[in-house]
Structure 1
Amino acid sequence: MLAYRIATKGEAPRLCEIDLPHPQVGQVRVAIKACGLNFADLLMQKGTYQDTPPAPFTQGMEVAGVVDAIGPGVAHLKAGDRIAVYAGQGGLAEYGVFDAERAIPLPDAVSFEEAAAIQIAYGTSHLALDHRARLQAGETLLVTGAAGGVGLTAVEIGKLMGATVIAQARGAEKLAVAKAAGADHLIDASEDLRTHVKELGGADVVYDAIGGDVFKAAFRATNPEGRLLPIGFAGGDVPQIPANHLLVKNLTVIGFYIGGYLTFRPQIVRDSFETLFRWCAEGRIKPHISHVLPLSETEKGLQLLRDRKATGKVVITP
C-alpha cells in the first residue's frame, strides 16, 4: 500500500510503498477514505510538535474510512462500519491500523471528507470554548486567524453558542469566508486590532491562533474578567504574558491542547466528537473544505498550509 512517511528524523517525508498492516489485539484496520491536514503535520516534519512520533512513521492525524479488518478483542465494531479516528498519525495512507477505542461511528449523513475535517479543528474549538473558556450566550468572542482551519470553526461554534463574534483575518477573501461562517464583525489583519476591538466594546473571550503581536493586541483589548485561549502560534512567535496585567484586569489565560485529553480524559474528546458529528448530520455545522486532493498530491496540500493559501481545511482522499 502507499503511505506518506517520514523515514528518518530530519528527513523530508515522501510517498512510498509499505506492507499492508494487520490489526493486533484491540485494533481495527481501516480502508482510509479521507484524512485532514493540519499545521501540526508541518511541525512534525521539523520535529518540533509536542507529540511527534519516533521515526519512521506515517503522517496524518485525523482519519475517516471503513473498517476493513478486526483484531482480537474488538466486539463493538465490524467490517464495513463507517468510522472516524483521531489517530495522531497513520492517516495519510491507503490503509491504517488504529486502536478500536478511538473509533467513533459516523452518521450516514456525514461524509468521509466532512468527518476528516471536523475532528481536530472543530474538536479544538468546541472543547476550548465550551469546556475550558465556558463561553456564554451574549458574550463577545474575538477570533484571530479566523479563516484558518481552526479559527473558522471557532467562528462557527461561537456563533452557535450565542456569542457575538469578531473575526480577524488577512484580506477581503478570507474575511468573506469568516462572515459566511457567522462572524458579526470583521477586522483585516492590516488594521489596528486593539483599537477596533475596543471600539466594538472589547472581547470577553479571545481565541488566538496566531500568537506574537496579534496576541498582545488582543490581550490589551480584553474586557475585565475576560478569558484568553492561546490556541496556536501560526505567526511563529510564542507571546510572553505579563502577569501584572492579569492582576489589574482579573484576566484568565487558559491552556488547552486537545491531544492531552486523550491521555487523561479521553471520554471528553469522544463526547465532543459525537456531538459535532450529530450537529453536522443535522446541518448545524458545515465544515469549510477549501481543497480535496489525492494522496499523490499530499505535499501540494501541505504547501497550501505553509503558504496560508487554504481557507478552512485541506483534505486528502487516498
Structure 2
Amino acid sequence: MKALLSRSSGGPETLVLDEVAEPQPGPGQVRIAVQAVGVNYPDVLIIEDKYQMRPPRPFSPGAEAAGIVDAVGEGVTGFSIGDRVLAMPGHGAMAEKVLAKAERCARLPDAMPFDEAAAFLMTYGTSHHALADRGRLQADETLLVLGAAGGVGLAAVEIGAALGARVIAAVSSEEKLALALGRGASEGFVYPPGPFDADGKKALADAFKRVCGPGGADVIYDPVGGDYAEPALRAIAWRGRFLVVGFPAGIPKLPLNLTLLKGCDVVGVFWGGFVEREPGRHAASLAELFRLYAEARIRPEISARFPLARGGEAIAMLASRQARGKLVVTVP
C-alpha cells in the first residue's frame, strides 16, 4: 500500500510517498481503509521531533482519519468489517490503511461524509472539552476566541454560539473575520501580526478590552499563544477562565500578578489526555457534538483538499497559518 512517510526529522518537504507493507490488526485494533485525513498542528510538530510522542521511523503523520473498517483484531466486539468510522490513531493516517485502537474509533452518522468526518473529531472535540468542561462556559457570557478562523478556533466560535454565549472573534485578516462572523461570532476584530514590543502589546491589550467591553471576557480561548496571550489575559473578566489550547506563535510567559488581580483561572486544555483518562465523558461529549452536527449548528469548514501525494503541502500550508478552518488529505 502507499503511505506518506517521514524517514528523517524535518519539515513537510522531507515527506515521501512510498510503498509499505499492509499493517495487520492486533488485539483490540481495527484496520481502516482510509478515505480522508484531517491535518492538525501536531502533524507539523511530529515530523520535526517536537511533539510529545515520537514514533519510530519511518512513520506517517496524520492523527485523525475517516474510512471503512476492513479488518478487526482479536477481542474487538464494537465494530465490524464495512463500518464507516472516524478514528484517532495519533499518527499513521496519511496512508491507504491505518490501524487504530477500537476505543479510539467512533461510528459515523450516515449523513456525515468522509471529508467532514476527518475534519471533525480533534477540532470539535478539543473545543467542546475546552468550553463546556474546562471553561464552564454559560449562556450570555462573553467568549473571546483567538485564531478564530483556524480549525479549533472556528469550532470554538460555533460551539460557543451554540451554548448561547456572546462570541468575539479575533483573527489575522478581514477574510477570516467574515468567516467567523458567518459561523456565529457576534463581533470581532483583526489583530496585527506579531511579534510585539511593549507598546505593541499594550495597544493589543487595549484593542481586546475595547471589543470585550467594560466587563471583560468571561472565557478566553487561546490556541495561538506567543505575544497574543498576555494582551488577551489583560481583557479577562473577574473570575474569568483563560483556556490554554496551543502555541503556534510560541509558548508565552504570563505575569501571574494578573491572575491575582482578576481572580481568574488559567486552565490547561489537553484533549488527548481527556480522551485517554475519561472515556465516558469523552463519549458523552462526542454524542453531543453529533447532535449539534445533525441540527446543522456545527459543520467543518474545509478550505482545501489535497491528494495523499501532496500531504506535505497541506502540512506546510497549516504551518504557515494560511488555512481557514480545516485542511483535508483525501485518499483514493
TM-score range, shorter-chain basis? over 0.9
Deviation of 1:288 after TM superposition, in Å, equals 0.5
2:31 & 2:152 partners in 1: Cα distance? 28
Larger mean Cα displacement after TM superposition, 29-38 or 97-106: 97-106
1:186–1:10 CA distance, 2 compared to 1 (3 A): closer
Match of 2:196 in 1: none
Match of 2:108 in 1: 106
2:191 & 2:182 partners in 1: Cα distance? 18
1:263 maps to which of 249, 253, 276: 276
1:196 maps to which of 203, 207, 222: 207
1:204 & 1:315 partners in 2: Cα distance? 33
Match of 2:253 in 1: 240
2:219 maps to which of 205, 217, 220: 205
Query: Does structure 2 retain, via aligned residues, the 8 Å contact 1:118–1:276?
Result: no
Deviation of 1:298 after TM superposition, in Å, equals 0.5
Match of 1:227 in 2: 241
Letter in 1 for 2:95: A
Query: Does structure 1 retain, via aligned residues, the 8 Å contact 2:208–2:231?
Result: no
Deviation of 1:273 after TM superposition, in Å, equals 2.3
Segments of 5+ residues of structure 1 without an aligned counterpart are: none
1:204 & 1:107 partners in 2: Cα distance? 34
2:36 & 2:301 partners in 1: Cα distance? 15
Residues 1:288 and 2:290 aligned together: no
Count of residue pairs the alignment pairs up? 317
1:149 maps to which of 148, 151, 160: 151
Match of 2:73 in 1: 71
Segments of 5+ residues of structure 2 without an aligned counterpart are: 194-202
Match of 1:302 in 2: 315
The secondary structure found in structure 1 opposite 2:253 is coil
2:138 & 2:297 partners in 1: Cα distance? 18
Match of 1:311 in 2: 324
1:254–1:172 CA distance, 2 compared to 1 (3 A): same
1:155 & 1:193 partners in 2: Cα distance? 21
1:28 maps to which of 27, 30, 37: 30
Match of 2:287 in 1: 274
Letter in 2 for 1:210: V
Query: Does structure 2 retain, via aligned residues, the 8 Å contact 1:36–1:116?
Result: yes
Q: For 1:61-91, what per-residue CA distance to the aligned partner results, in whole angstroms no more than 9, with x for missing partners? A: 0111111012121122111111111111111
Query: Does structure 2 retain, via aligned residues, the 8 Å contact 1:66–1:79?
Result: yes
Runs of 4+, deviation exceeding 4 Å: none
Query: Does structure 2 retain, via aligned residues, the 8 Å contact 1:258–1:269?
Result: no
Match of 2:173 in 1: 171
The secondary structure found in structure 1 opposite 2:209 is helix
Q: For 1:43-78, what per-residue CA distance to the aligned partner results, in whole angstroms no more than 9, with x for missing partners? A: 111111122323232210011111101212112211
Letter in 1 for 2:207: H
2:328 & 2:291 partners in 1: Cα distance? 20
Match of 2:164 in 1: 162
Match of 2:199 in 1: none
Match of 2:55 in 1: 53
The secondary structure found in structure 1 opposite 2:119 is helix
TM-score normalized by structure 1?
Answer: 0.95
Larger mean Cα displacement after TM superposition, 118-127 or 269-278: 269-278
The secondary structure found in structure 1 opposite 2:120 is helix
Deviation of 1:307 after TM superposition, in Å, equals 2.0
The secondary structure found in structure 2 opposite 1:150 is helix
1:45 & 1:23 partners in 2: Cα distance? 24
Larger mean Cα displacement after TM superposition, 95-104 or 132-141: 95-104
TM-score normalized by structure 2?
Answer: 0.91
